A and B are shown apart, each in its own frame.
Chain A
Amino acid sequence: MSSNHNHSASGEETKRHKVEGPQKHIVGFVMSLALTIIAFAAVSAGEINPTFTYIILVAMAVVQVFIQMAFWMHMKDRGHTFPIIAIFAGVFVVFTMVIMALYWVWW
């Protein structure tokens, strides 16, 4: 399995490549697990101010999603400019829709 296999015609420059190990994915898994447990614990504990609980929940979800997209969906790897543009275009529309739906219905 020589890793300096030349396929420069594909546009990718050849590079010496060491294949990544599973460590960072296990770290991502443990972090996701911890964030999930914090979110569930915040709700199960009760007794916390609802507004504050909402803030904790949203923060945990957003952090977890960033971790998963960066590591598991490889978005932190190079050559992911267009995927990032595509997803954030989607997220922008979603954000607008959620705000608008809540605004129109409840205020």
Chain B
Amino acid sequence: MSAHDHLDGQLPHEPEKATLEARNKILGFWIFLGAETVLFGTLFSAFLALRHNIGDGPTANELFQLPMVFAATMLLLTSSLTSVFAVQSLHHHKKNAMVGWLVVTIVLGLCFLGLEIYEFWHYVHEGHGFTTSAFSSSFYTLVGFHGAHVAFGVLWISLIIGQIFKKGLTVVTAPKVYISAIYWHFIDVVWVFIFTVVYLMGKVGG
């Protein structure tokens, strides 16, 4: 019995794990996430080491506005919930509901990105440019790198939606949805540390 038996017939239970290839993809993706953890860890350690070296620029306490950070946090947290709903719809084999939740996830991700771009624009106008200080460089590198991950996630999930429309929900497309949801949760998990370490600790240690 090969994987292709599922292609035209009924979807198996948990279609994202029905084939060996799919399970290998998921495992490989987790190993990638382990490496991503290290990547973000290097940026966090650089930021933690340099965050008090503000040079002539503004301090973290002067710069950060908690309401905006809280709004961004809510957007990303909610988008993480909607992407887990997409995976649940996948388990129920409800294609349209799944695509709907993925679209909501993307829209929330775009709102988050818009807020972050506005935030960076605002900081630059406050005299907090990329080259202002060691604090500003490590801040933009860390938070910007996370923002780039969000942007990539939005693009990736959009492409997967396109593929779902083209090929339908199969044992080939289901793992892609599952893996992109894992990626999206990972982005949210990284954000938990960013709002804690960068923004909240910046306010305290300001």
Contact = CB atoms under 8 A, between A and B. Distances in A.
Q: What is the interface of chain B mostly: helix, strand, loop, or mixed?
A: helix
A98 B70 contact: no
Contact of B10 (A1, A39, A89): A1
Nearest 8 A-B pairs (CB), nearest first? A94-B41, A90-B37, A86-B34, A101-B45, A83-B30, A90-B34, A61-B196, A105-B49
A25 B85 contact: yes
A102 B49 contact: yes
A29 B41 contact: no
Contacts of B36: 90
B80 interface: yes
Q: What is the interface of chain A mostly: helix, strand, loop, or mixed?
A: helix
A51 B74 CA distance: 26
Contacts of A17: 13-14
Contacts of B40: 94
Interface in A34-92: 36, 39-40, 42-44, 50, 53-54, 57-58, 60-61, 64-65, 68-69, 71-74, 82-83, 86-87, 89-91
Contact of A7 (B18, B38, B182): B18
10 contacts: A5-B12, A39-B200, A54-B201, A65-B192, A72-B80, A90-B36, A90-B41, A93-B37, A97-B45, A98-B45
B77 A29 contact: yes
B204 A82 contact: no
A82 B77 CA distance: 26
Nearest to B31: A86
